[in-house]
Structure 1
């Protein structure tokens, strides 16, 4: 396996350095995105002492707005013509504004009335997540499709992309609480901590831009085709394999967001120490990261679909065991290891599966929609996080969770179990059922051969 990519052909086998550069890009995005998806609710409720239900509603409404911006950015990417590529060029344009917007999330004007603070949260959250993350992440995901047409290489790129996401996530999850306390705690400690993550993320995006290349890009004439939003969206939703892959991705990410968003509350309320969350989270993240880098073995011999199905069943097993040992830190660490292994298998292949469905859609409907098709990954990433935040906020409020209490009421403990165990279990069962109906892999070689023939005619 070569260190550098040896070919610029569309079906090139990529070198390790280019795959690592792609991984680093997603790690950079994950630093701020983990704050947004996992710790922002905690910052607002337990540092600023704002109402969890109100914040949850703000996050949910904002995620719905995300759906519009993701689709718009997908169409923009599909029509981008640049010597720097249709995806890479956006990394260069957006990485600095995104880093700044992440830092602004923590500068809530606490000297103003609460309604003004909620207004600031809504504006800053949407600037960071709905606009700038979209403008960065949609093009990044499209690169999975355009860096190589090789299905196995796309699967590996998906593995590296998920590896970057896990690396960024575990870096934040295992350090954010301690760093915030090290820098004095409170609002100031969080601002300094998030500022550090923002700078590192900016550098990671620049490295990704520098050391990656897009080889499968449309001709200018194809990119400049007349915009047909309704027709393109109709073609996407008629693509049954795309729908299955996107829904499976949503349920995996919703499971992850529930785990991350409720985990710190669960550790604080059930185990009595929010610091235990670092052990639980890091165990899952590290086992997931390790599994990602051996997932090419089942992917090669079992295929992407069966690898994802195996992973969803392993996660489900961990969640079932968790029901019976939820008050034991050691037991939860063990279950987190199981969930990490399963999430590693599922996460390793889903990006590649979605990319493969774009070829199916082009073959079936004669429309190449890699920008808007891959934008759905960004959409479900953000919607799953926002929906999880809203659900957690609603559950905490309905269960009378008290951020200042040493011991929580039974009603609060009950909703913590729902958020941390039972809802994630439902997600993974749904994923397993969906994957049974994904049967694209056997058809893909013939589909790609026919597409190549069409392009030569």
Structure 2
């Protein structure tokens, strides 16, 4: 069947699935880092967790610079392979190789050499090649089609991909590593295999999607100065709301995912609970994300996000009140899956809508830089969240060689896994209470279309 390449195209199922594969591969890399890097360094290599946390925080400075830079690069890119899609191809291989490289710390080297190696590899995986892949993937949502419903559906498929990638790593990474035995060699082989699977998904995405939204000749010949891009983005209140909410949700996801293995080991008493919780989370999360299409059609994107937030709050409240009861904690994995699935399913779709709102308000379309905030948010959130876990783990006196931890260590781990994520979800709900773009979006699209038609007539 011939592919529809019109700017308002309805996207075919194969192309939607290809787009989904991109976030599976992307989030396999992110999940490897956020879930297992700190654990590998602290519990396997016995490297100081506080130093690792500090390295991760310092690296955020580089992330901020590279995200803004990469957003501008995408906005200024004009190629036969598209503005963003071409960068997905260019970044995929070095991204996965640098993620794998994080786990190949030279064990015989001095502590200083190890810290330098970790700093370099972590920044390559996040601030350099991770930025390329994240910004390219997120930008494609608004470049594949202008159809608002389709961008929403693509957002849902993208979030399903994120959940599949994250849950694959969370549920099966330790099992894959155990297949190769124990110790550093097992981790090297296991992480390499998982990384190659992630690379395959990224390449499927590149080959299966197409960009349809193009620029006018005038826009191509007169790229926007960085100052104008920043000024116009700051005028876009909905972009600020969605961007800040995504920073918070990824922060809480980062701190939760990094601390979950510690929570299972140090609070519940066994790392085996990690698989049980992730399995309880996975299917409800995917079902909720797919079902979000119904919620969006019925209630709108903003309300769907808010419903998910309320369910997340309920889940973390139950976890806080129940204490270290494995059965309750596993059950709350279900609530986490449903709430997170609904809350995040429309993040990409909402951001695509803010691009159209920005065009309507400022008469300037900014895509790459607007979506760069997603890459920035994901890495800031996961990195800072993981850093908090590292600092608290080291400060609390956590002992990697025993299952029974001190009261301070248990409290610190519980704060990371339960209390801080609870606060983040409440703050997100407050911010998104003011998001009402859904009400006026149809008229905004019509206004933008009329402007474009008028410019064509005048030209």
Q: TM-score range by the shorter chain?
A: over 0.9
How far apart, in 1, do the equivalents of 2:368 and 2:217 lie?
A: 15
Matched, 1:115 2:80: no
Inter-CA distance 128–388: structure 2 relative to 1 (3 Å threshold): same
Q: Secondary structure at the match of 2:439?
A: coil
Matched, 1:133 2:117: no
Alignment of 1:23-172 (within 5 A): 23-172=20-169
Residue number in structure 2 paired with 1:203: 200
Residue number in structure 2 paired with 1:412: 409
Residue number in structure 2 paired with 1:351: 348
How far apart, in 2, do the equivalents of 1:53 and 1:217 lie?
A: 47
How far apart, in 1, do the equivalents of 2:217 and 2:38 lie?
A: 44
Post-superposition CA distance 1:46-99 (Å, at most 9, x none): 111101110001111112211110110000000100111111111221212222
Matched, 1:326 2:323: yes
Inter-CA distance 163–5: structure 2 relative to 1 (3 Å threshold): farther
How far apart, in 2, do the equivalents of 1:263 and 1:120 lie?
A: 26
Shift of 1:166: 0.6
Question: Which one is further off, 277-286 or 231-240?
Answer: 277-286
> Is contact 1:5-1:15 (8 Å) kept?
no
Alignment of 1:309-320 (within 5 A): 309-320=306-317
How far apart, in 1, do the equivalents of 2:293 and 2:259 lie?
A: 31
Question: Which one is further off, 175-184 or 111-120?
Answer: 175-184
How far apart, in 2, do the equivalents of 1:63 and 1:340 lie?
A: 28
Inter-CA distance 337–99: structure 2 relative to 1 (3 Å threshold): same
Residue number in structure 2 paired with 1:290: 287
Q: Secondary structure at the match of 1:270?
A: helix
Which of 378, 381, 386 is matched with 1:384 structurally? 381
How far apart, in 1, do the equivalents of 2:298 and 2:42 lie?
A: 47
How far apart, in 2, do the equivalents of 1:224 and 1:30 lie?
A: 35
Shift of 1:185: 1.6
Count the aligned residue pairs. Answer: 454
**TM-score in terms of structure 1 length:** 0.97
Which consecutive unaligned segments of at least 5 residues does structure 2 have?
455-459
Which of 164, 175, 178 is matched with 1:178 structurally? 175
> Is contact 1:180-1:186 (8 Å) kept?
no
Root-mean-square deviation over aligned CA pairs: 1.3
Which of 418, 421, 424 is matched with 1:421 structurally? 418
How far apart, in 2, do the equivalents of 1:315 and 1:344 lie?
A: 10
Matched, 1:244 2:267: no
Post-superposition CA distance 1:132-167 (Å, at most 9, x none): 011111011011111111111111111111110110
Inter-CA distance 389–53: structure 2 relative to 1 (3 Å threshold): same
How far apart, in 2, do the equivalents of 1:290 and 1:91 lie?
A: 28
> Is contact 1:32-1:194 (8 Å) kept?
no
Q: Secondary structure at the match of 1:112?
A: coil
How far apart, in 2, do the equivalents of 1:6 and 1:299 lie?
A: 26
Question: Which one is further off, 180-189 or 302-311?
Answer: 180-189
> Is contact 1:155-1:351 (8 Å) kept?
yes
Shift of 1:5: 7.4
Which consecutive unaligned segments of at least 5 residues does structure 1 have?
none
How far apart, in 2, do the equivalents of 1:251 and 1:101 lie?
A: 26
Inter-CA distance 5–312: structure 2 relative to 1 (3 Å threshold): farther
Post-superposition CA distance 1:345-387 (Å, at most 9, x none): 1111111111100111111112211100011000000000110
How far apart, in 1, do the equivalents of 2:2 and 2:117 lie?
A: 46
Shift of 1:254: 1.6
Question: Which one is further off, 24-33 or 375-384?
Answer: 24-33
How far apart, in 1, do the equivalents of 2:398 and 2:34 lie?
A: 20
How far apart, in 1, do the equivalents of 2:281 and 2:251 lie?
A: 15
> Is contact 1:258-1:388 (8 Å) kept?
yes
Q: Secondary structure at the match of 1:417?
A: helix
